[in-house]
A = this chain, B = another copy of it.
Amino acid sequence: MAALTDEQAELFRPGFASVATVNADGSPQLSITWVEWDGEHVVLNTTAERAKGRNLLRDPRIVVMAVDPGDPYRWVSVAGRAEITEEGADEHINELSLRHWGKDYEIPEGMTRLKILVRPERVNSYGLDK
């Protein structure tokens, strides 16, 4: 397992990252989503019905990359395995919504929210102090 430096962790603070998973047919899947760093994991939130959620329920391998919004030559990527839980997932998406949009999140009916925790197994970064 790998830890993030303070500077690497800081890149997750604006709260957006690219997320790569693998589809059932073995092709790559890519999206951008809200993320945060809890001190041990990159944490994100999706649903069991979306491509990212479906993929991670089948194959938990994931890479998350945060790029400095002001400087694309400063980035950090974290590869690991998703730990997936429904517990607290509704509350978590609401916290993210309040932080980013300043209002409650309207969870569509028939969707199962998933909270995804990624403990870093491999970390790469560029443009950051060692």
Known: A69-B69, A69-B72, A72-B69. Contact between A30 and B16, CB under 8 A? no
Q: Which of A69-101 contact B (CB under 8 A)?
A: 69, 72, 75, 77, 79
B69–A18 CB distance below 8 A: no
Partner of A22, one of B18, B26, B75, B77: B26
Interface, chain A (partner B; CB < 8 A): 16, 18, 20-22, 26-32, 59, 61-65, 67, 69, 72, 75, 77, 79
Contacts of A67 in B (CB 8 A): 16, 18, 32
24 A-B pairs whose Cβ atoms sit less than 8 Å apart in the complex: A18-B30, A18-B32, A18-B65, A20-B20, A20-B28, A21-B28, A22-B26, A22-B27, A22-B28, A27-B61, A27-B63, A28-B28, A28-B29, A28-B62, A28-B63, A29-B63, A30-B30, A30-B64, A30-B77, A31-B77, A32-B67, A32-B72, A32-B75, A69-B72
